[in-house]
Amino acid sequence: MANDTLYKIMRTTRGYLLKEISGLNVEQMLEVPKGAVNNVLWNFGHIVYAHDRITYGACGLESDVPASYAESFKGGTSPSDWEEPPSVDEVMGHIKKGNEKIYTDYAAGAFDNYNGFEMAPGYSIDRVEEAIQFNCLHEGVHLGIILALKRLIGVTA
């Protein structure tokens, strides 16, 4: 996929996500409504964690995403595992910062040594371009869950 298309879809995806932050207070972001297994904050944190892991992480590069996010937000975890909720401001700061840095790092060749991995049986991610495209789908999944959570806690769009 051409870089322009890739950058555009990254920015657009994150733009749709940012629209859904508005109108939520901290209490609502931490609420696990009846019928759900996680909360809005977990979904946002998971997005930050996953995006970092399959781009910077797969190239062995450091980033400013805290190492503790693996324990709080990786797949299979849930708010019920938290001793204390992670900082909402910190997580949302990462979401709002978006993907800007990745564009300059990509152009500088930071992701050239990408260590491919198997995302699921028969589906591997072998280049950062594939990771970025997959991430757009993944952010969509969690945006869908966030929209459903907002409806369950009575926050209208």
Partner 1 sequence: MLKELKGLTHEQMLLIPVGQSDNVIWNVGHLLCSLSRLTYGFSGHPLPIPDSYLGLFGKGTSAAEWDEPPDVEVVLELFKALPDEVEKDYRAGRFTEYKILELAPEHTVESVEEAVAFHCFHEGLHIGMIISLKQRMGLKVSG
Exposed, middle or buried: residue 102 (CB in 10 Å: 0-12, 13-18, 19+)?
Answer: buried
Residue with tokens 């990509």: 106
> Does position 16 bind partner 1 by CB under 8 A?
yes
Helix (H, G, I), strand (E, B) or coil at 118: strand
The correct pick among 91, 125, 131, 149 for binding partner 1 (CB under 8 A) is: 149
What residues numbered 89-148 form the site for partner 1, per CB under 8 A? 133, 136-148
Considering the complex, what minimum distance in angstroms separates the CB of residue 62 from partner 1?
28
> Does position 26 bind partner 1 by CB under 8 A?
no
Instruction: Answer yes or no: are the C-beta atoms of 153 and 33 closer than 8 Å.
Output: yes
Closest to partner 1 by CB, 28 or 66: 28
The correct pick among 22, 60, 75, 83 for binding partner 1 (CB under 8 A) is: 75
Helix (H, G, I), strand (E, B) or coil at 120: strand
List Cβ neighbours of 9 (8 Å cut-off, separation of 6 or more): 133, 136
Residues lying near partner 1 in the complex (CB under 8 A) are found at 1-2, 5-6, 8-9, 12-13, 15-16, 35-37, 75-76, 133, 136-149, 151-152
